[in-house]
Amino acid sequence: MPEENNSGAEPVEEPIEIQAENTAADDTGPDIQEVSCSNCGAPLSYMEGEAVITCEYCGTTTMLAGYDNIVTVESHYLLPPKAGRDEAIGIASGWLKKGFYKSKDLPNKVTWRKTEARVLPYWIVRCTGNTRWSGQQKRSKTVGEGKSKRTETYWEPVQGRFTEDYTGPVYAREDTSEFWGIRNIEPGKQCIFPDWGKFIFRLGGSKRTPNKDLLEGKMDFSIDELKKANMHEHIINGQIVQERAESSARNRIIELHQNKAEGKATKVMDIDTTIDVLGVDLVYVPVWELVYSLAGKDYNVLVDASRQEVLSGEAPVGKWAKATIFDIIFFLIAAVFAVIGVTSDGIAWPWITAGVFGGSAIAYSVWTATMKE
Ligand SMILES: [Zn+2]
C-alpha cells in the first residue's frame, strides 16, 4: 500500500469533495472507495470496480492490478484537448449546418442543453500476430479425351503463414453504453444518425466510423494540458486493467486471423497464431458530449476535443432535403408513366397517373415551403 502521509507532496489547493461514507444505513448508492496517489499522495476517490485511477492533481495513473498490487502506469499519453466548452459547441454547430441532409439554419434554431466534458481511457495494445495454417484446397482438372472428357475434383494440401501489426485500442471501461456515442466510434460502427421523423424515403445520410490511429497526435500525459481546457476534473477512471486489455486484444486478433486463414483454403485444418505484444500504452481521449434540443426532441453529438471534429452525432433531416428526395422519386415515377403514355397511343390512364405523381411532387414542395422545420 502507498504511504498515507505525504511529506513534501504538493499542497492540494482545492478542497477534496467529502465523499459520503459508506455507512450500513445506505447500501443503495455506488460504493465509493479511496486510495492515495502514489506520486503526490492526494486522496483519489473511485467507484467500486474502477481500477485505473488518474490523479487530477498531478496526473499520475495508479492501477489496482489485484490484491495489494498497486502499480503506476508509466506509458501514459494524452491527446491534447484543443477545444473547450464553447469551441465544442462551435464545432458541433458547424457540423449541424453542413451537408445536404441538414437545414442550413439549424444551429440558430437549436438549444444546447448539456455540455459534458469527459476524458476517456483507452489501452493501446501494440502487437504483431503471426499465423501458420494448413489445410486442403479443392481443385479440379479435366481428364480424358473426346467423349470421355470430364472434370475431376481432387484435394491438394496447402499451407501458409502471415503476419500483421496491430495498434488496436481497447476501451478501458466495461459498459460502452454508459456514455453516449462511445460504441459508435469503434471503426466500422454507424456514427452519424439522421432523424427522418415520419418521412418514409430514408435514403442515405448515415455514416460509419473510419479506421484511424488513436495514437496519432499523442503527447506524454499532462494534467496541465487538461487544466487549460478545464477538463482535468472530468477524467474517467478505467475499469479494465492492462492485463485484461492485452488478453482482449489477443482474443480479437486470434479471431481475426482465424477468419482470414479460413478464407485462404477450402478446408483449414490447423491454425496456430502467436502474438507478440510490443507494448501497451494508456491513452486519454478528451471528448465533449453535447445534447441539443429542437422542437421538443433531444439529439446527441460527441465532439473530439483534440482533433476538433464531430465523432458521432444525431441530427434531424431538413425539410428541403426530404422535399428533394420526395420530388426526385415522384418525378421519376411520373416520367415512367409519361413514357408509357407516349408509347401507347390514345390511352389516357398513363397520363393521368403521371399527372398525379408530378402534381404530388409539386404539392409536396409547396407544403414544405409553408411548414415549420
Ligand atoms: Zn497525484
Task: Using pLDDT thresholds of 50, 70 and 90, give the confidence band for residue 27.
Answer: low
Residue 108 · residue 93 · CB < 8 Å? no
Is a pLDDT exceeding 70 seen at residue 5?
Answer: no
**What pLDDT sits at residue 24?**
45
Residue 284 exposed, middle or buried by CB count within 10 Å (0-12, 13-18, 19+): buried
135-175, pLDDT tens digit by residue? 999 999 888 888 888 888 999 999 999 999 988 789 999 99
Helix, strand, or coil (residue 187): coil
Is a pLDDT exceeding 60 seen at residue 12?
Answer: no
Is a pLDDT exceeding 60 seen at residue 82?
Answer: yes
18-35 mean pLDDT: 61
Centre of ligand 1 to C-alpha 35, Å, is: 11
User: What is the secondary structure of 279-310 as a DSSP string?
Assistant: EEEEEEEEEEEEEEEETTEEEEEEEETTTTEE
> Length of the chain in residues, anyone?
373
Q: What is the mean pLDDT of the chain?
A: 88
Centre of ligand 1 to C-alpha 50, Å, is: 17
Centre of ligand 1 to C-alpha 14, Å, is: 13
Task: Using pLDDT thresholds of 50, 70 and 90, give the confidence band for residue 338.
Answer: very high
Residue 233 · residue 227 · CB < 8 Å? no
Centre of ligand 1 to C-alpha 73, Å, is: 12
Centre of ligand 1 to C-alpha 22, Å, is: 24
Is a pLDDT exceeding 60 seen at residue 129?
Answer: yes
Centre of ligand 1 to C-alpha 279, Å, is: 24
Beta strands in the chain (DSSP E): 32-36, 43-47, 52-54, 61-64, 70-72, 76-78, 111-143, 150-171, 190-195, 207-208, 219-220, 267-294, 297-304, 309-316
Residue 239 · residue 174 · CB < 8 Å? yes
**What pLDDT sits at residue 13?**
45
For cell 448515415, the residue is 206
For residue 119, what are the β-bridge partners?
Answer: 235, 286
Centre of ligand 1 to C-alpha 64, Å, is: 15
**What pLDDT sits at residue 347?**
84
Beta strands at 70-72 and 32-36: parallel, antiparallel or unpaired = unpaired
Centre of ligand 1 to C-alpha 45, Å, is: 12
Start-to-end CA span in the chain (Å): 60
249-286, pLDDT tens digit by residue? 999 999 999 999 999 999 999 999 999 999 999 999 99
Q: Which of 18 and 198 is assigned the larger pLDDT?
A: 198
53-69 mean pLDDT: 88
101-110, pLDDT tens digit by residue? 999 899 999 9
Centre of ligand 1 to C-alpha 352, Å, is: 78
Is a pLDDT exceeding 90 seen at residue 65?
Answer: no
Centre of ligand 1 to C-alpha 62, Å, is: 9
What distance in Å separates the CA atoms of residue 326 and residue 362, rounded to the nearest whole number? 10
Centre of ligand 1 to C-alpha 106, Å, is: 44
Minimum mean pLDDT range among 16-25, 245-254, 272-281, 349-358: 16-25
Centre of ligand 1 to C-alpha 42, Å, is: 5
Percentage of the chain lying above the pLDDT 90 cut: 70
**What pLDDT sits at residue 167?**
85
What distance in Å separates the CA atoms of residue 2 and residue 39, rounded to the nearest whole number? 9
Centre of ligand 1 to C-alpha 217, Å, is: 24
Centre of ligand 1 to C-alpha 248, Å, is: 29
**What pLDDT sits at residue 373?**
72
**What pLDDT sits at residue 23?**
45
The H or E element that residue 357 is part of is: helix 349-370
195-214, pLDDT tens digit by residue? 999 999 988 889 998 877 77
Is a pLDDT exceeding 60 seen at residue 1?
Answer: no
**What pLDDT sits at residue 2?**
43
Residue among 167, 168, 163, 143 nearest 153 (CA): 143
Percentage of the chain lying above the pLDDT 70 cut: 92
Centre of ligand 1 to C-alpha 54, Å, is: 8
**What pLDDT sits at residue 29?**
65
**What pLDDT sits at residue 80?**
96
**What pLDDT sits at residue 139?**
92
